[in-house]
Amino acid sequence: MDHTGLTPAEAQQRLAQDGPNALPVSQPRSVLRLVGDVVSEPMFLLLVACGALYLVLGNRQEALMLLGFVFVVMGISFVQQRRTERSLEALRDLSSPLALVLRGGQTQKIAARELVCGDTVLLAEGDRVPADLELTHTANLALDESLLTGESVPVQKQAGGQAGGAEAVQAFSGTLVTQGSGQGRVVATGEHSALGRIGQSLQGIATEITPIQRETNSVVKTVAVAGLALATALALAYGLLRGDWLGGLLAGLTLAMAILPEELPVILTLFLGLGAWRLSRQKVLARSIPAVELLGATTVLCVDKTGTLTANRMAVRRLWSGSALYDSLKDSAAPLAEALHGVLEYAVLASHRRAYDPMETAIVGAGAELLAQTEHLHADWALVEDYPLSPAMLAMSRVWQSPDQQAYLIAAKGAPEAIVDLCHLPGPEREQIAQQVAAMAADGLRVLGVASAQFAAPPLPGNQHDFDFVFLGLVGLQDPVRPDVPQAIAACQAAGIRVVMMTGDHPATALAIARQAGLATDAPPMTGQELAELSDADLRERLATTQVFCRVQPEQKLRLVQAFRARGDVVAMTGDGVNDAPALKAAHIGVAMGARGTEVARQAADLVLLNDDFASIVTAVRYGRRVFANLRKAIVFVVGVHVPIVGLSLVPVLLGWPMLLMPVHILFLQLIIDPACSVVFEAEPLEAAAMAVPPRSADAHLFDRSVLARGLWQGCGLLALLLGVYAGARALTYSDDMARALVFTVLVLANLGLIYANRSWTRPSWRKGAARNRYFGWISAATVLLLACVLGIPPVSRLFAFEQPTSGMLLAAVGVALVGLLWFEGVKWALGRKGR
């Protein structure tokens, strides 16, 4: 055993040589980098270029409004991403920032990041292991390695000279000391530790943009190029046919403004940004904002067991005494049977009062609950001696002195076979106990035996076998399923999402938890050994039926995620441990636990559940489906509103009529279109049956035939109405300015009707039961007020080239707009029937 450790000079030299003991997780993005990421978005660059073009051509009002709106959207994106980064910084794991080391013959506490190879580290119960250690001395040492392996049962550790096996003599960075004490020499720090190597493996897994981002980028570029080409052709045709090149430039610019889809990037950015903001209010942090939308397409949800499906804390599930049985799932409301009081009483006495071991913590907690108000809790008893667990004897005994008895009372607990051996039981009783142990183990329980003894007077024997033990019963413990998990899994399955479990635990434990959580267990589980022997083709075939994967290693979780992706599934992966991080990053959507989860897992994930609530995943899926559904509604509105705008910019020029729409009119319409897309549709709740249907296809398009058909039919009908209004006004010999005012009034009011009709695709807009949307009311009121100002204030009317219509004309315009609403509802009804 090293009694001096490194000298301070040696430690300083190695720190300079090897670097700090810090995990290779990504650093927070700087403000400049965040700004750069937002500014470099191709969609934003396109809009800035359009605004600059308008400015060069002298359309200052349009240019300034477009540029101003773009920068507002950029500001929202920046604030959202900066808020996300700050939230992650607040989540950083600070559970054990100090390490107790031996340097220069003195014990001292230092920052864990200052540890170097060769340092001697001292471990005690409750410590987090700060680096990879080779153990040189142990005393009943057990470590919780679940963050690395997924195995919830603590692992016994021994010094190198006491036992073979490399892992038995190593303590890995990030694991927790649950029992005993030890001393070890640092053999790996930072990225070279077990924790760091898993973090480093994340760098080889590429991230990718979502299909919607790719599709929107493509549509924006295509429409922009086509629109500019069409606008140029219109300007040339106008100039050649009429000889008015200035008017041709104005007509071309107006058409370009009508066609350019500046709303699309605004819609996508704001929908995803506001969706992430709404999720954050539900305690779900979106590290990758586009992943919010992709959640709605999830077909497979891969979940870790320990800490995700379960609470990662042991609890007493069963007590058995030979004559009585207690099961917490069935008997929690009933008082504990008298025959079981002694079992739990002596199990508590055999545990540490300040327990770090999760099983002892569970036993002490169960005693406080089930033995309350009884004489079986003994806070006034004094501990006399402790016989610790050892490799030779898998049982521990504690000797107590009662204030009212001279004889010592001994409580023992441990592996059932060790307790049976201590009690020297005959064959038939051994067989009965073995059958009960097997039944508990088949249900995934960790089983301990409990015994009691009395000893007359000191001196105490040196061996537990010298006590005359009486067998009391068995205690079955289990890491319980989180209370919200069964309902959440049922909701996922109702939504067509397949849930599979991946764990490092024993098959019996995995199947028991799967049954309690509500997963199908008809097919046998697949073990890590079976998985290693399967080819990719055979694995793909087994994936169709296997729901539970157990005894899997971290790299096998990664292989499973990649195999599901290869089948065409959209994969979401949940986890909290370092062992989950590569699979989290490889999945389409990685979901990490925020409170208990490791920093490496959080950095690899797209979403972080801040309150570790598994039900939040269902909420996130619901929001993902809502974002996609409302995006489609907004796209229908954009198509439907642009058809008449483009038509009114193009048809009058082709027919030799005066120009109906000018840039100022289109700028006014943007005051309706952009807020409607960005606020009204985004705020619409999810349709009632949306979580009772399967996920959309992985290759489903945002701009598919259904969306385009709905928008084109609604828009073409509105264009026909508007052209009819203009033709009727000309037939009645109204002036061009009066006809333009009537057409514009109908267009603005019909736009409000288009919003109203497309808020829901499953019911008529006026039917009771439709959720209220306060933003629609505000935008409608603001639009009508602005329209009244444009029509009623002479200087503004002249700017718009309007002549003030009479009240009768305005009533007629309202009537035509209502006809347009009926047309929109008719299209919705007809296409809805066709889609069923």
Catalytic residue positions?
A: 304
Q: Dihedral, CA atoms, 7, 11, 12, 15, nearest 10 degrees?
A: 180
Alpha-carbon span 400 to 419, nearest angstrom:
18
- Distance from C-alpha of 536 to C-alpha of 547, rounded to nearest angstrom: 17
In a 3-state reduction of DSSP, which class is residue 428?
Answer: helix
C-alpha 690/C-alpha 295 separation (Å) is 13
- Pair of tokens at residue 606: 């797209």
Tell me which residue has tokens 């058909």. 709
Q: How far apart are CA 747 and CA 719, in angstroms?
A: 9
Q: Which of 795, 577, 722 is nearest to 93 (CA)?
A: 577
Residues 835, 686: Cα–Cα separation, whole Å: 19
Distance from C-alpha of 119 to C-alpha of 106, rounded to nearest angstrom:
12
Taking CA 130 as the corner, what is the angle to CA 124 and CA 134, rounded to the nearest 5 degrees?
80
User: Measuring CA to CA, which residue among 390, 414, 413, 409 is closest to residue 399?
Assistant: 409
Q: Which two tokens stand for residue 202?
A: 């994340």
d(C-alpha 500, C-alpha 526), whole Å: 11
User: Collapsing DSSP states into helix, strand and coil, what is residue 314?
Assistant: coil
Q: Hey, what are 778's tokens?
A: 């505000």
The answer to whether the beta carbons of residues 380 and 513 sit under 8 Å apart is no
List the one residue out of 450, 467, 330, 489 whose CA is nearest residue 408.
467
- Alpha-carbon dihedral angle through residues 757, 762, 764, 767, given to the nearest 10 degrees: -120
Q: Cβ(780)–Cβ(713) under 8 Å?
A: no
- The C-alpha torsion from 722 through 726 and 731 to 733, rounded to 10°, is 150
**459 upstream amide cis, omega within 30 of 0:** yes
Q: What distance in Å separates the CA atoms of residue 716 and residue 735, rounded to the nearest whole number?
A: 25
DSSP state of 6: B
Q: Report the DSSP beta bridge partners of residue 527.
A: 550
Q: What does the alpha-carbon distance between residue 308 and residue 481 come to, in Å, rounded to a whole number?
A: 9
- Beta strand 498-502 with 470-478 is unpaired
- The alpha carbon dihedral of 74, 78, 84, 87 has a sign of negative
At residue 25, φ and ψ (nearest 5 deg) are -95, 160
CA distance 697 to 700: 5
The two structure tokens encoding residue 32: 């400049």
Q: DSSP letter string over 221-284?
A: HHHHHHHHHHHHHHHHHHHHHHS-HHHHHHHHHHHHHHH--THHHHHHHHHHHHHHHHHHHTTE
d(CA 189, CA 20): 8
- CA torsion sign for 316, 317, 320, 326 is positive
Q: Residue 159: how many CB atoms within 10 A of its CB?
A: 19
